Amino acid sequence: MSLSIPPAARPDLSPRPFTYANARLTCSGADLTELAERFGTPLYVYSADAIRERVSMLQTEFAAVPNTLCYAVKANSSLAILKMLGELGCGFDIVSGGELERVRRAAPQALRQVVFSGVGKQIWEIDAALNADILLFNVESEAELEVLSSRATALGKTAKIALRVNPDVFADTHPYISTGLREHKFGIAIERARDVYRRAAQLSGIEPAGVSVHIGSQIRAVEPFQQALVRVRGLAEELRSDGLNIRYIDGGGGFGIEYGVAAFDPAARVAEYSAAVRTALNGINVQLLLEPGRFLVAQAGALLTRVLYTKQNGAKHFVITDAAMNDLIRPALYQAHHEILPVLHESRASQLADIVGPVCESGDFFARDRLTPELRSGDLVALLDAGAYGMSLASHYNTRVHPAEVLIEAGHPRLIRRRETLDDLLAAELL
């Protein structure tokens, strides 16, 4: 199906570092066509300048209150990006021993600004975090608290803890990434928290030091954050009246972005978010911990892919690329929207097409019935907003190797992950 659109029309990409120059898509001044020729496809491309800008937005807006930005490593765990964030003064939010090791290798100076979240911490992970002297364990169950006490005592350590409380606040997001309701596996019901803190204060090796909350991801309204923190603040004040030295409130992450091309002013959104958080915590003397992930890195990244084939099945038109759901699973997993742009901007008619990959699954798609300029074999396209939960969720399904990653700094590209080989992929297997 072909539709007529103005050939010069280009989407408004203002919050992103991706712009057209001389009809070629660039990232922070680097030509994406040249990057694809040099490094191959599929290829993840990130703008260091864009990430720094987002960090600066948050640091500026929250400067009036004591705070630490603990970047959520799960969003994008590239060592080079972690190193850069550590140099910018960020701490880290981790959910596994593997993520702790990434921080140790990339930003060892930030280990004492690490918070460890997650419902299923294993003993070896707890031991590694205790030995690293991390800032805070976000404890998610009474059983975990007992194990943490046992391990801290055995190692002669003291574990500073915050209970992750579940405030039963609804956040309008995808059900897979909503975490703040009673039916979710995360956290401890806020009504029970005071009793659990009393038990924690009696345990060997445990120091109650904070309260933590995280209500979900990709939340674009500020009201749920404010509601949750009002409840957390009330609990913190009760715990102080019980004699506990509560000096941290971890507000979690989840601050969202716009994945489409609708008008989006990230600085204005941060100002609104900051005002809501500061209002909820006004007058209580605590160190505020924030766990941004997606907001810092998502719009800084794109996945470059080349069109292999096009085909027509009845009324359906398909564009088949060399990237697949194993490289970027968000559309298949969350029905997520990613803008898809031709890297070379030419005067072509538009078409409705399914943009799909080579993986042997009907769920292997990036878009269905998407209106784009006509795409032909050999064309390069960019899937925008792929800097978060792109490479970090990549798999080897269909025995497909991981793509390379490139970081652009002031127009200069740097390879930060070489393309995997089949030998790399098979190296751990035994015959």
The C-alpha torsion from 26 through 31 and 35 to 38, rounded to 10°, is 170
pLDDT in tens, 198-212: 999 999 999 999 999
> What mean pLDDT is predicted for residues 333-347?
93
- Residue pLDDT, tens place only, 368-394: 999 999 999 999 999 999 999 999 999
pLDDT score recorded for residue 398: 98
Report the alpha-carbon distance of residue 243 to residue 205 in Å, rounded: 18
Amino acid residing at 84: M
What pLDDT, in 10s, does the model give residues 393-408? 999 999 999 999 999 9
CB atoms within 10 A of CB 295: 25
Helix axes 123-131, 97-106, angle to 10 degrees: 30
For 31, the token pair is 């030509």
Is the pLDDT score of 240 beyond 70?
yes
CB atoms within 10 A of CB 419: 16
With CA atoms as reference, report the closest residue to 319 among 339, 302, 340, 344.
Answer: 340
Q: Quick one: which of 260, 180, 171, 267 has its CA closest to 220? A: 171
Residue 91 contacts residue 84 (beta carbons within 8 Å): no
**pTM of the model as a whole:** 0.93
Residue 155 has pLDDT above 50, yes or no: yes
Structure-token match 């099945």, residue found: 313
243 exposure class (CB count in 10 Å sphere: 0-12, 13-18, 19+)? exposed
Q: Is 90 a catalytic residue?
A: no
CATH number of 117-292: 3.20.20.10
Supply the mean pLDDT for the chain. Answer: 92
Parallel, antiparallel or unpaired: strands 350-356 and 316-321: parallel
Confidence band for 261, pLDDT divided at 50, 70 and 90: low
DSSP per-residue codes, 276-338: HHHHHTTT---EEEE---HHHHGGGEEEEEEEEEEEEETTEEEEEES--TTT--HHHHH----
What pLDDT sits at residue 174? 38
CATH number of 2-47+299-426: 2.40.37.10
pLDDT band at 6 (very low <50, low <70, confident <90, very high): very low
What residues have CB less than 8 Å from 263, skipping those under 6 apart?
12, 14
Please report which helix (H) or strand (E) contains residue 382, including its range.
Answer: strand 380-384
Domain borders along the chain are: 2-47+299-426, 117-292
Per-residue b/e over 142-163, b at no fewer than 16 CB within 10 Å?
eebbeebbebbeeeebebbbbb
Neighbours of 209 (CB within 10 A): 19
* 43-47 and 404-409 beta bridge pairing: parallel
Q: Return the structure tokens found at 352.
A: 């409705």
CB atoms near residue 415 (< 10 Å)? 15
SS3 content of the chain, % helix, strand, coil (to 5): 35, 25, 40
Looking at residue 109, its amino acid is: Q
Which of these, 260, 256, 166, 163, lies nearest to 217 by C-alpha position?
A: 256
Identity at 364, one-letter amino acid code:
D
Res. 98: pLDDT tops 90: yes
Give the count of alpha carbons within 13 A of 244, CB side only. 29
Q: Taking residues 248-255, what's their average pLDDT?
A: 91
Show Cβ contacts of residue 31 under 8 Å, excluding neighbours closer than 6 positions.
Answer: 21, 24
Dihedrals φ, ψ of 44, to 5°? -90, 135
pLDDT cut 70: percent of the chain above it: 92
Spatial distance between the Cα atoms of 103 and 204, rounded to a whole number of angstroms? 28
Catalytic residue among 27, 70, 90, 360: 360
The pLDDT assigned to 10 comes to 54
Residue type (1 letter), 160? K
